[in-house]
Amino acid sequence: MNVLDGDGLLVVDKPAGMTSRRVVDHAQRWWARRTRLGHAGTLDPLATGILVLCVGKATRLIEYIQDMDKVYRARVLLGFRSDSDDADGVITPTPGATAADKSTVAECVSAFVGTIEQVPPRYSAARIAGQRAYDLARRGEEVTLSPRRVEIYAIHILDYSYPYLDLEVCCGKGTYIRSLARALGERLGCGALVQSLRRTRLGPFTVEEALSLDADAEMVRTHLLPMEKAVAALPRLVLSESQRKRLEQGQVVVLAETPTFPHLGEEESGEAAVFDERGQLAAVARFDPRRGTLRPVKVFQSKKR
């Protein structure tokens, strides 16, 4: 069922039991042959919820979506441990595990809000000497991963009835909820794993707008979002047609007026989303406030005008 050939973003609701790669393979049937497809932000097979598919030229913007904040809802099972830190792994009960009271759990959870050091799960896409950790783990090799700094903005306890702890986590790029569950279990002294996980928001994308994989071609067509939503967090600049052409040709553009970007200092460079006079995304460019110039980073060649 190859029906579409455009560029853009498609927000899908990933079902449990599928890898993110399989979701992309499944979605390929909606698109013309040789259409480029990719996903932004991997979800574990156990997890459900928002997976943003990038189509055509939008695949060049995957990194910007991956950098967006995320919100997850997780059910954590206390009193058990897993070699994968979730219910898909080999699960063992923790000897002598006891239920902590609600105040102790709340205090423990709050300790993980902020900038923390987190060790990725053994079964993860983290790399060790160029190899994926999950490949090494599946071969029975030793997996030693270094802690990584991640940002957790908020954790809300939705419900606690031992052995279940339901959480909503708002976090930044690279945060593993499985690692958070493991660390919570260790701090509480009872062990813990993720029993279920659902991503409910990714940047501006919400699960309410996500499309089921059972959708037909017409639903896909109406749900395809413009690719500029991938760079919604970047400051926006509009160029004249002559400036756009220069940028498209890889040339540096000197701006007549120096724009002000609130998130940047007076001499701090940064990226901007560049639009043409018709409001179409033309490029991502790096702005140099000292020189008042734009240097192309990613250029999206315009269709014939």
The CA-based diameter of the chain, rounded to the nearest angstrom, is 72
- Which percentage of the chain shows pLDDT scores above 90? 70
Given the residues 7, 13, 44, 85, the one annotated as active site:
44
**Higher-pLDDT residue of 91, 256:** 91
Considering the domain architecture, whether residues 162 and 281 belong to the same structural domain is answered as: no
> Is residue 160 situated within a structural domain?
yes
pTM of the model: 0.89
Q: Residue 283 above 50 pLDDT?
A: yes
> Is residue 1 situated within a structural domain?
no
Considering the domain architecture, whether residues 74 and 181 belong to the same structural domain is answered as: yes
- Which percentage of the chain shows pLDDT scores above 70? 86
Q: Would you state the pLDDT for residue 85?
A: 94
Whether 101 sits among the annotated catalytic residues: the reply is no
Considering the domain architecture, whether residues 61 and 134 belong to the same structural domain is answered as: no
In tens, the pLDDT along 224-276 reads: 999 999 999 898 989 999 999 999 999 999 887 666 665 555 556 789 999 99
> Is residue 74 situated within a structural domain?
yes
Considering the domain architecture, whether residues 287 and 219 belong to the same structural domain is answered as: no
Considering the domain architecture, whether residues 123 and 217 belong to the same structural domain is answered as: no
* DSSP 3-state of 4: strand
Range of the domain at 31: 8-67+204-229
Region 102-107: mean pLDDT is 97
Considering the domain architecture, whether residues 81 and 143 belong to the same structural domain is answered as: yes
Considering the domain architecture, whether residues 83 and 172 belong to the same structural domain is answered as: yes
pLDDT confidence band for 25 (50 / 70 / 90): very high
Region 64-90: mean pLDDT is 96
Q: Please name the residues in contact with 211: beta carbons below 8 A apart, sequence gap of 6 or more.
A: 10, 11, 12, 13, 219, 220, 223
In tens, the pLDDT along 132-161 reads: 555 555 655 566 677 889 999 999 999 999
CATH number of 257's domain:
2.30.130.10
Q: Would you state the pLDDT for residue 62?
A: 97
Q: Would you state the pLDDT for residue 305?
A: 46
Considering the domain architecture, whether residues 74 and 186 belong to the same structural domain is answered as: yes
Contact 166, 197 (CB under 8 A): no
Region 19-30: mean pLDDT is 92
Pairing of strands 48-55, 192-202: parallel
Q: Residue 42 above 70 pLDDT?
A: yes
CATH number of 26's domain:
3.30.2350.10
Structural domains in the chain (count): 3
